[in-house]
C-alpha cells in the first residue's frame, strides 16, 4: 500500500461498531510477536489535559537523552502526528510498511480490530522496531477497555483532570467515568493525579489505588504568573500557554519524580528545558497575536479556557463549532460569561451541531451570535467583529481546529 491507500485502510476500520474490549487486539498483537512487551510505558488517562501532559513528558524525557516514543490522539491535520519519536513523526513510508504487514496478519488470522486498536498496534510495532527506551502512551477513550490498556505493566500511571465526557460509553456520572479511567492502574505501579479534583473523583481514585495496592500521589496546586509555574519551591517557564497548563505541569513534575525514584536519570536541566520547549498544536495556540486556537470541547475544558482568556484583559469573540453529542449548551453558557460576541459555524461531519442551533445556545445566555456555516468565512467574520483590540478564540472541537489550522497558517506565514 502507498500512503494514501494506507490512510484509507486505517479509516475504513470500524470505530464503535464493535463491543468495547481488547480480545481481538490481544490476538493480533500475539501474532505480531507482542511488541508491547518489549517497551516501557508511562500510561496517561483523563478527560482533559492528557495531550499536553503527554507532550511535556515526552519532551522532558527526550531532553534527558532517552529515545522516547509518543502515542497520542486525535491528530489535528495529519495522521502521522499521532506516532512520534522525539520531535519526529513516523514517516509515510514507515507507516505504510507497518500497516501493510499488520493488514496481512489481520487477513490471514481473521483478527479484525477497530480503527483505534489498529493505530495502537501500529505504534507498538514502530516503537519496538525503533527500540525506544520509553514510550509515553495516551489512552483514546476511557481506560479500562481502551486499546492501550493491553499493556501488562508500566512505570508510572498518570490521571489528568476528570470530568463528564463520552458519557454514552463511559457512564453518566463522574464516579462511573473515574472508575473507567482507573482501569489502567497496574499492581505496584505508582499513580500520579491532577490537583484540584472533585471530592467524588478523589474518593474513587483512592478506592481503586487501595484495591490495586498502588502508591498514589496527588500533585499539589501550583501557582501561576506570566507563563511561569511555581511548584515545589522552583520556578518553571512553560512553552505552552494558558493558565490551565500550570496544573498539567504539576502532574508532569510529579511523574518525573516517580521515574527518578526508579533510577531514571532526569536532570533538573532536562526538566526545565522540556517544560520550556514543549509545543502542542491547538492548545491555546496563537496566530497573529489576536487569534487563539484551542480544542476544548467539554464544559470542564471551557471553564479552564475562559480562565486563561480572562488573563488577557481584552474583549473575546468566539468562533466555535461543536459536536451535537457534546454538552454544547452548557459550553455556550460558560463562554457567554466572557464573550463580547460569537460567530458559530459547522464542519462537514454528521455529528456536528448546526451553526444556527449553536447560535441559539449563545443567544439564550445573552450573547449576540451570528451563524456562518463556512468555517473560513466564520473566522474572517470574527476577525472583523473583533477589530484590532479584540481576541478571536476558535474553539469547541479538535475537528474544527484541524479544519482551520492550515487556513490560519496560510494567513500568518
pLDDT tens profile 7-17: 999 999 987 54
261/307 same-domain check: no
- Among 101-105, 329-333, 409-413, the range scoring the smallest mean pLDDT is 409-413
Boundary-marking domain end, from 219, 244, 277: 277
Number of domains in the chain: 2
Q: Which pLDDT value is given to residue 392?
A: 98
Q: Which pLDDT value is given to residue 28?
A: 97
pLDDT 10s digits, 237-267: 999 999 999 999 999 999 999 999 999 999 9
pLDDT category, 101, cuts 50, 70, 90?
very high
Q: Which residues contact 98 (CB under 8 A, 6 or more apart)?
A: 122, 125, 126, 129
**Length of the chain in residues, anyone?**
413
29/104 same-domain check: yes
Q: Tell the residue number behind the cell numbers 449553536, with chain if given.
A: 358
The CATH number of whichever domain residue 66 belongs to comes to: 3.40.1190.10
- Look up residue 140 and give its three cell numbers: 483514546
224/299 same-domain check: no
Cα–Cα distance measured from residue 413 to residue 406, given in angstroms and rounded to the nearest whole number = 11
217/298 same-domain check: no
Closest alpha carbon to 284 in 300, 299, 296: 296
218/121 same-domain check: yes
Mean pLDDT over 264-282 rounds to 97
Boundary-marking domain end, from 216, 248, 277: 277
- Domain encompassing residue 254: 3-277
- With a cut of 70, say whether residue 20 has pLDDT above it: no
123/71 same-domain check: yes
75/180 same-domain check: yes
Could you write out the three-class secondary structure of the chain?
Answer: CCHHHHHHHHHHCCCCCCCCCCHHHHHHHHHCCCHHHHCCEEEEECCECHHHHHHHHHHHHHHCCCCEEEECCCCCCCHHHHEEECCEECCHHHHHHHHHHHHHHHHHHCCCCCHHHHHHHHHHHHHHHCCCCEEEEECCCCCCCCHHHHCCCCCEEEECECCCCCHHHHCCCHHHHHHHHHHHCCCCCCEEECCCCCHHHHHHHHHHHHHHCCCEEECCCCEEECCEEEECCEEEECCCCCCCHHHHHHHHHHHHHHHHHCCCCCCHHHHHHHHHHCCCCCCCEEECCCEEECCCCCHHHHHHHHHHHHCCCCCEEEEECCECCCCHHHHHHHHHCCEEEEEECCCCCCCECCHHHHHHHHHHCCCCEEECCCHHHHHHHHHHHHCCCCEEEEECCHHHHHHHHHHHHHHCC
Closest alpha carbon to 48 in 394, 284, 339, 302: 302
Cβ count within 10 A of residue 167:
14
347/306 same-domain check: yes
- Residue 8, φ and ψ in degrees, nearest 5: -65, -40
- With a cut of 60, say whether residue 18 has pLDDT above it: no
123/38 same-domain check: yes
Higher pLDDT, 192 or 16: 192
**Contact status, residue 321 vs residue 345, Cβ threshold 8 Å:** yes
**Contact status, residue 240 vs residue 228, Cβ threshold 8 Å:** no
The CATH number of whichever domain residue 303 belongs to comes to: 3.90.190.20
Closest alpha carbon to 195 in 221, 176, 227, 230: 221
Closest alpha carbon to 204 in 184, 173, 175, 167: 175
Cα–Cα distance measured from residue 340 to residue 335, given in angstroms and rounded to the nearest whole number = 10
pLDDT 10s digits, 325-375: 889 999 999 999 999 999 999 999 989 999 999 999 999 999 999 999 999
Closest alpha carbon to 284 in 380, 196, 391, 197: 391
Q: Which pLDDT value is given to residue 17?
A: 45
Q: Tell the residue number behind the cell numbers 490495586, with chain if given.
A: 212
How high is the mean pLDDT of the chain? Answer: 94
48/148 same-domain check: yes
Boundary-marking domain end, from 250, 277, 304: 277
**Contact status, residue 123 vs residue 30, Cβ threshold 8 Å:** no
pLDDT category, 168, cuts 50, 70, 90?
low
362/259 same-domain check: no
238/385 same-domain check: no
**Contact status, residue 15 vs residue 108, Cβ threshold 8 Å:** no
Amino acid at each position: 500500500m502507498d500512503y494514501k491507500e494506507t490512510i484509507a485502510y486505517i479509516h475504513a476500520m470500524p470505530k464503535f461498531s464493535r463491543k468495547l474490549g481488547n480480545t481481538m487486539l490481544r490476538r493480533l498483537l500475539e501474532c505480531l510477536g507482542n511488541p508491547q512487551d518489549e517497551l516501557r510505558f508511562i500510561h496517561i488517562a483523563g478527560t482533559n489535559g492528557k495531550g499536553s501532559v503527554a507532550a511535556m513528558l515526552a519532551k522532558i524525557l527526550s531532553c534527558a537523552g532517552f529515545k522516547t516514543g509518543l502515542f497520542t490522539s486525535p491528530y489535528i491535520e495529519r495522521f502521522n502526528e499521532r506516532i512520534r519519536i522525539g520531535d519526529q513523526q513516523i514517516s509515510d513510508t514507515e507507516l505504510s510498511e507497518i500497516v501493510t504487514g499488520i493488514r496481512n496478519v489481520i487477513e490471514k488470522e481473521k483478527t479484525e480490530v477497530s480503527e483505534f486498536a489498529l493505530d495502537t498496534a501500529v505504534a507498538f510495532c514502530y516503537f519496538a522496531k525503533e527500540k525506544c527506551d520509553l514510550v509515553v502512551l495516551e489512552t483514546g477513550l476511557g481506560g479500562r477497555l481502551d486499546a492501550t490498556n493491553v499493556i501488562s505493566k508500566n512505570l508510572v500511571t498518570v490521571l489528568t483532570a476528570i470530568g463528564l465526557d463520552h458519557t454514552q460509553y463511559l457512564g453518566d456520572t463522574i464516579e462511573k467515568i473515574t472508575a473507567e479511567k482507573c482501569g489502567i492502574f497496574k499492581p505496584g505501579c505508582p499513580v500520579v493525579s491532577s490537583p484540584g479534583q472533585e471530592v467524588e473523583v478523589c474518593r474513587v481514585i483512592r478506592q481503586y489505588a487501595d484495591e490495586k495496592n498502588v502508591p498514589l500521589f496527588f500533585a499539589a496546586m501550583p501557582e501561576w504568573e506570566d507563563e511561569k509555574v511555581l511548584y515545589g519551591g522552583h520556578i518553571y517557564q512553560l512553552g505552552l500557554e494558558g493558565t490551565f497548563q500550570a496544573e498539567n505541569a504539576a502532574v508532569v513534575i510529579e511523574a518525573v519524580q516517580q521515574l527518578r525514584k526508579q533510577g531514571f536519570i532526569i536532570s533538573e536541566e532536562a526538566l526545565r528545558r522540556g517544560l520550556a520547549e514543549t509545543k502542542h498544536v491547538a492548545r491555546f495556540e496563537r496566530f497573529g497575536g489576536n487569534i487563539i486556537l484551542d480544542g476544548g470541547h467539554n464544559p470542564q475544558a471551557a471553564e479552564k479556557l475562559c480562565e486563561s482568556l480572562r488573563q488577557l484583559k481584552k474583549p473575546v469573540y468566539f468562533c466555535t463549532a461543536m459536536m451535537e453529542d457534546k454538552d454544547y449548551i452548557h459550553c455556550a453558557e460558560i463562554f457567554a460569561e466572557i464573550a463580547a460576541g460569537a460567530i458559530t459555524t459547522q464542519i462537514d461531519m454528521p455529528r456536528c451541531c448546526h451553526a444556527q442551533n449553536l447560535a441559539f445556545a449563545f443567544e439564550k445566555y445573552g450573547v449576540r451570535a451570528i451563524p456562518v456555516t463556512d468555517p473560513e468565512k466564520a473566522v474572517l467574520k470574527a476577525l472583523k467583529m473583533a477589530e484590532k483590540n479584540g481576541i478571536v478564540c476558535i474553539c469547541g472541537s479538535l475537528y474544527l481546529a484541524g479544519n482551520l489550522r492550515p487556513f490560519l497558517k496560510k494567513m500568518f506565514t
